[in-house]
């Protein structure tokens, strides 16, 4: 297989399904001559970054034969033919005037229908946890669904039915967020078991659960957060979670205090009261843990059953999101199709991220969890039938689009390790098991569907190699 390098300008992403940033490439052995075997794709529907990208990278390809993409899309535009009726001849005579009625053929109405916007299943959720700490103390939480009501819950988090898959958001940069940013890498579940297998470390120190960050409502402080309207010492976690996997919108957690020179362990059991706030409700069940609502701002006190719940500020959800290239606004859905006819038992993987050949830094190196060229991502399910067995097995704990192949802890398929980020064979034939409604192109289009924070990319661009 000889992958071909294609420079896919922002106009291609715009021509396709703009609400998800669908990228399509065709592997053609005939266009690989003299080309460096990369695919470039844009992760949003914006064309604002086109000039910047062109000025940076065009010079390398000026001697390369230009590939015309127009033919790929010719069958997507319906041809509209306009037919004129011949003008009837009107003869004037001296006979008594006869009224001539002219009847016009009704103009056919052309209706333009748009694909419905696909809404991400992930919903932003925020937890504030009030706890005054001393030097070297740090607040983590552990949680998920209530283990007391589910005897089948078990470690590790990746296979635990009580663990909730989520995507922790950036809260900012600087020394105040160094530990939070280091420990949130590879933390893909809110679970009861502490550090996850692929979770990041801070100066070699492992996490003790899901990290929170110290915040304040003081704008002059490096820990200032706009959503913190409560005061100092409010530890914060900002994340995206699929509310449909919670208990009717509720989940539980408990605080864990880490202290290098003193007490380390759980907070005390609590008995939660009805929550105040405009979104506050009584707890749905009896528990010794804090109970929070998915999709809201949840405010709690350490070792205390009081709570407050407020709605989050409005975020676009039913319409395409604006392009995100500099603001850490959470993950954006991104889809890649690659056309490749394969033989029996062949699978397609991609590797990628930021293009290490063009970065000023030479710090891109294994492992993916600490590689600045790797892009954190969450891979979406494409289905649960046997057709997707390999894809679903290999996407497990594949937390980065990176250049290094299998990640530490990444799932295997009947003992066979992954070779990168897996793709799944799809078709536009609704009678086939590989049918995907986003595939309007044909059979043999391998697909990956993922969420990536576009602010981590190179002005919205990512590089991939098959």
Domains, the chain: 1-73+331-466 (no CATH), 122-311 (2.60.40.10)
Mean pLDDT of all residues in 10-19: 33
In the chain, % of residues over pLDDT 90? 46
pLDDT band per the 50, 70, 90 thresholds, residue 25:
low
Instruction: Give the DSSP letter of residue 157.
Output: G
Cα–Cα distance for residue pair 321/454, rounded to 1 Å? 12
pLDDT value for 139: 97
**Mean model confidence pLDDT for the chain:** 76
CA-to-CA dists, residue 338 to 28, 333, 342, angstroms: 11, 17, 12
The conformational region for residue 152 under phi > 0 = left, psi -120 to 50 = alpha, else beta, is alpha
pLDDT band per the 50, 70, 90 thresholds, residue 368:
confident
Mean pLDDT of all residues in 202-222: 95
pLDDT value for 17: 34
pLDDT band per the 50, 70, 90 thresholds, residue 265:
very high
Cα–Cα distance for residue pair 229/217, rounded to 1 Å? 6
pLDDT band per the 50, 70, 90 thresholds, residue 336:
very high
pLDDT band per the 50, 70, 90 thresholds, residue 317:
very low
* In the predicted structure, residue 39 carries a pLDDT above the cut 80: no
Cα–Cα distance for residue pair 406/420, rounded to 1 Å? 5
83-87, 242-246, 444-448: range with lowest mean pLDDT: 83-87
* Tally of CB atoms within 10 A around 258: 20
Q: List pLDDT tens digits, range 405-453.
A: 998 888 899 999 999 999 999 999 989 999 998 999 999 999 999 888 8
Cα–Cα distance for residue pair 451/379, rounded to 1 Å? 6
pLDDT value for 83: 46
pLDDT value for 158: 85
Mean pLDDT of all residues in 51-68: 38
pLDDT value for 364: 81
* In the predicted structure, residue 269 carries a pLDDT above the cut 90: yes
Mean pLDDT of all residues in 368-393: 87
* 81 Cβ contact partners less than 8 Å away, ≥ 6 residues apart: none
* 113 Cβ contact partners less than 8 Å away, ≥ 6 residues apart: none
* In the predicted structure, residue 328 carries a pLDDT above the cut 70: no
pLDDT band per the 50, 70, 90 thresholds, residue 26:
low
* In the predicted structure, residue 44 carries a pLDDT above the cut 60: no
* In the predicted structure, residue 162 carries a pLDDT above the cut 80: yes
Cis peptide before 118 (omega within 30 of 0): no
* 287 Cβ contact partners less than 8 Å away, ≥ 6 residues apart: 146, 148, 252, 272
Q: List pLDDT tens digits, range 106-124.
A: 444 444 444 443 445 689 9
Enter the tokens of residue 9: 């300008």
Coil, strand, or helix at residue 74? Answer: helix
Write down the pTM of the prediction: 0.51
pLDDT value for 70: 38
Q: b/e map of 303-326 (b: 16 or more CB within 10 Å)?
A: eebebbbbeeeeeeeeebbebbbe
Cα–Cα distance for residue pair 200/369, rounded to 1 Å? 7
Q: Would strands 296-301 and 122-130 be described as parallel, antiparallel, or unpaired? A: parallel
pLDDT value for 241: 93
* In the predicted structure, residue 175 carries a pLDDT above the cut 60: yes
Cα–Cα distance for residue pair 3/8, rounded to 1 Å? 15
Mean pLDDT of all residues in 194-219: 94
* In the predicted structure, residue 93 carries a pLDDT above the cut 90: no
Cα–Cα distance for residue pair 25/84, rounded to 1 Å? 41
pLDDT value for 366: 86
Mean pLDDT of all residues in 36-56: 42
pLDDT value for 8: 35
Q: Output the CA torsion 28→29→32→33 (10° steps).
A: -140
Mean pLDDT of all residues in 295-323: 78
* Tally of CB atoms within 10 A around 193: 17
The larger pLDDT score, comparing residue 233 to residue 97, is at 233
SS3 track for 360-403: CCCCCCCCHHHCCCCEEEEECCCCCCHHHHHHHHHCCCCCEECC
The answer to whether the CB of 53 falls within 8 A of the CB of 463 is no
CA-to-CA dists, residue 30 to 3, 34, 175, angstroms: 10, 11, 51
Strands (E), 31-99: 39-42
* 331 Cβ contact partners less than 8 Å away, ≥ 6 residues apart: 120, 122, 167, 240, 377, 378, 451, 452, 453
* In the predicted structure, residue 27 carries a pLDDT above the cut 80: no
């Amino acid at each position: 297989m000889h992958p071909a390098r294609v420079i896919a300008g922002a106009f291609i992403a715009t021509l396709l399904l703009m609400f998800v940033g669908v990228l399509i490439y065709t592997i053609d052995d005939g266009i690989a001559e003299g080309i460096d075997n990369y695919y470039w794709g844009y992760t949003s529907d914006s064309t604002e970054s086109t000039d910047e990208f062109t000025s940076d990278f065009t010079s390398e390809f000026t001697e390369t034969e230009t590939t015309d993409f127009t033919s790929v899309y010719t069958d997507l535009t319906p041809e509209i033919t306009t037919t004129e009726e011949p003008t009837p001849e009107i003869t004037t005579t001296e006979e008594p005037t006869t009224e001539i009625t002219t009847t016009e053929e009704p103009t056919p109405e052309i209706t333009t229908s748009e694909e419905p916007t696909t809404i991400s299943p992930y919903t932003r959720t925020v937890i504030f946890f009030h706890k005054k700490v001393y030097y070297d103390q740090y607040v983590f939480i552990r949680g998920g669904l209530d283990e007391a009501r589910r005897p089948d819950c078990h470690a590790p988090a990746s296979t635990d039915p009580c663990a909730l898959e989520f995507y922790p958001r950036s809260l900012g940069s600087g020394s105040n967020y160094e530990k939070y940013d280091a420990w949130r890498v590879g933390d893909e579940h809110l679970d009861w078991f502490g550090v996850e297998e692929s979770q990041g470390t801070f100066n070699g120190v492992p996490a003790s659960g899901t990290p929170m960050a110290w915040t304040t409502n003081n704008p002059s402080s490096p820990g200032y957060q706009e959503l913190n309207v409560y005061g100092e010492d409010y530890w914060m976690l900002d994340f995206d979670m699929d509310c449909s996997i919670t208990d009717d919108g509720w989940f539980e957690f408990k605080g864990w205090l880490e202290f290098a020179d003193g007490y380390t362990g759980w907070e005390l059991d609590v008995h939660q009261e009805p929550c105040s706030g405009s979104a506050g409700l009584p707890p749905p069940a009896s528990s010794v843990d804090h109970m929070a609502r998915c999709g809201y701002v949840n405010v709690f006190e350490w070792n205390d059953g009081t709570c407050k719940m407020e709605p989050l500020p409005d975020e676009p959800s039913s319409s395409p999101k604006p392009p995100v290239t500099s603001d850490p606004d959470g993950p954006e859905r991104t889809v890649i199709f690659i056309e490749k006819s394969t033989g029996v038992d062949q699978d397609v993987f991609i590797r990628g991220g930021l293009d290490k050949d063009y970065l000023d830094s030479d710090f891109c190196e294994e492992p993916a969890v600490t590689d600045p060229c790797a892009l954190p991502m969450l891979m979406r399910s494409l289905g649960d039938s046997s057709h997707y067995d390999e894809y679903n097995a290999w996407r497990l704990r594949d937390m980065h689009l990176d250049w290094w192949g299998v990640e530490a802890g990444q799932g295997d398929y009947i003992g066979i390790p992954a070779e990168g980020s897996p793709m799944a064979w799809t078709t536009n034939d609704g009678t086939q098991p590989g049918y995907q409604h986003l595939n309007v192109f044909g059979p043999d289009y391998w697909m990956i569907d993922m969420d990536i924070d576009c602010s981590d990319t190179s002005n919205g661009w990512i590089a991939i190699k098959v």
